[in-house]
Amino acid sequence: MLPLSRVFTINLVYCGLACALIPGSPEQQTRRAIRSLKNAIEAARENDRIARFYVDYLIPLPRETKAEDIDPWPGGLAQMYPYAEGILKDILHEVVDEPAGPCSTQVLSEPDCCGFFVQESKTSPKNDIAAILFPSVDQLGNMEEIDEMVGDQRTLILFNKQFQRPADFGFGNGDRCRKAIFDKYEYGFAFQEFACRGEDTKLTFEYPHWSSCVICEENVDLGQQEIPLLEPSEQRPSYEALEKKINEVLPEPLWMRKMGEAEEKGLKFQRRR
């Protein structure tokens, strides 16, 4: 029988043959977000649904970020805002049919680093697209007002929202925020990352499906490998479902795999280059 480390290497090579599940660069993430949003907007119009979408975009780290940096965004949303602003403008400009001039912007809340963007279309006002950048629970009133202003014919996007569930809006606001947001919006694009069972887990939503994978980088010979997890689904996979699948495809935890590689090849600083 082959040693577990060898079996694991074979599995990684096999998985590496599949097409990339996650964007390989900020430019690719932007292109995929544009394509997904276009498809989502078209589907909403074909099915007579109001076009209201979440976008979770993984903002790339600043060029000056170093590996030893504990927090690459020490300035928080204020530091992220200029990067996110440029990305959002690029996305809106490409999603809108025949954009009419540059995207207009307005600061909704300077302390909360929340902004409002509108990209108009030459073809028709109903093809205009509006977006709110970094909306938080404190902007519930703004979101309600903008939703009414945008109307049923135009698209409105919540870009990198700073809340996850109705409970985030506090006691007494549950029904209000459900009506204004959670019962109305769906995902138009997402690229999310988090730890599941200690593994580097990635989720992507490209209309109309969620996809999932884990990233393995402990094998220096193979480099970064994407291991697909669950089958594409219209529902966002739960943490429990992801954990169960990870236990199937990677029965050995990360620390054990790293230990096995060290025993087989020696410590990294001892290996010949």
The amino acid occupying position 108 is: L
Which residues pair with residue 226 across a beta bridge? 215
d(CA 117, CA 156): 10
Describe the strand order of the beta sheet including 104-109 as a list of residue ranges: 104-109, 114-119, 129-133, 155-159, 52-56, 186-196, 199-206, 209-216, 225-228
pLDDT (0 to 100) of residue 19: 52
Residues in contact with 51: Cβ distance below 8 Å, sequence separation at least 6, in sequence order: 40, 41, 44, 45, 154, 155, 156
d(CA 96, CA 92): 6
pLDDT (0 to 100) of residue 222: 67
d(CA 142, CA 146): 6
d(CA 273, CA 263): 17
* pTM, entire model: 0.86
Tens of pLDDT along the chain (273 residues)?
Answer: 333 333 333 343 333 334 578 999 999 999 999 999 999 999 999 999 999 999 999 999 888 887 777 788 999 999 999 999 999 999 999 999 999 999 999 999 999 999 999 999 999 999 999 999 999 999 999 999 999 999 999 999 999 999 999 999 999 999 999 999 999 999 999 999 999 999 999 999 999 999 999 999 766 566 678 999 999 999 999 999 999 999 999 998 876 777 755 456 554 444 454
Q: What is the separation, in whole angstroms, between the first and last Cα of the chain? A: 29
pLDDT (0 to 100) of residue 265: 56
Which residues pair with residue 158 across a beta bridge? 54, 132
Contact 41, 208 (CB under 8 A): no
d(CA 22, CA 53): 20
Extended strands (E) in 126-207: 129-133, 155-159, 186-196, 199-206
d(CA 114, CA 138): 10
